[in-house]
Structure 1
């Protein structure tokens, strides 16, 4: 089932707009755990400079989501916005989305801090539902340490 390029690009943009909004809502204290979990496939892969990790979309994920958002609030995260989005069609059901995130952090006794970074997401489109089945990140904790957000 091949989709027109503009249709799938619109759907992927809407997917990340909703992802960004859920992040903003969570930073404001309203975490939609189910909608956040629904963005992921039943099983998914994370790759970062420290290795590759497999995850399941299960109750454990639903327990981790609020803890993760609490961590971001505690370190002063004010916003997480999509700065740019590029989409590559891999085949009629699979897409690569490179998201350039712009994160703003509140710093004690300093101006707000902007950190920009890219995350590469692999999406699958089954039954007109986009799901993240893999993503690649950089050394997020290292950047946070470098800027004094965490020890």
Structure 2
């Protein structure tokens, strides 16, 4: 007559973590930075195993318990577009364009700067009308 025995067996399995991408306007476009590192979780599986004459003849899952939740990996994706500033000016970013005028003035752009702006090189956009070294004041 066969010997039938039932045992309870547990095993653990990793739960893979998910990933999430979040736009970040403080990072330069094309830059990514992991702000939260992903961590795999763990689940414990409990089985009822049937042995007939010492050989496994059945295995039934009776319980699954998540013993450690996975942590989602969060990657920040830069969206900030770097603006190039004319090196002839300091104090504010004077964009490089076909023409730059003081914001709020009578100029027609196409680009504008809000001052005051110090002229440290050539005043190529004629922003310092009174010649005192400070433009858009």
TM norm structure 1: 0.26
More helix by share: 1
Give me the TM-score of the superposition, normalised by structure 2. 0.28
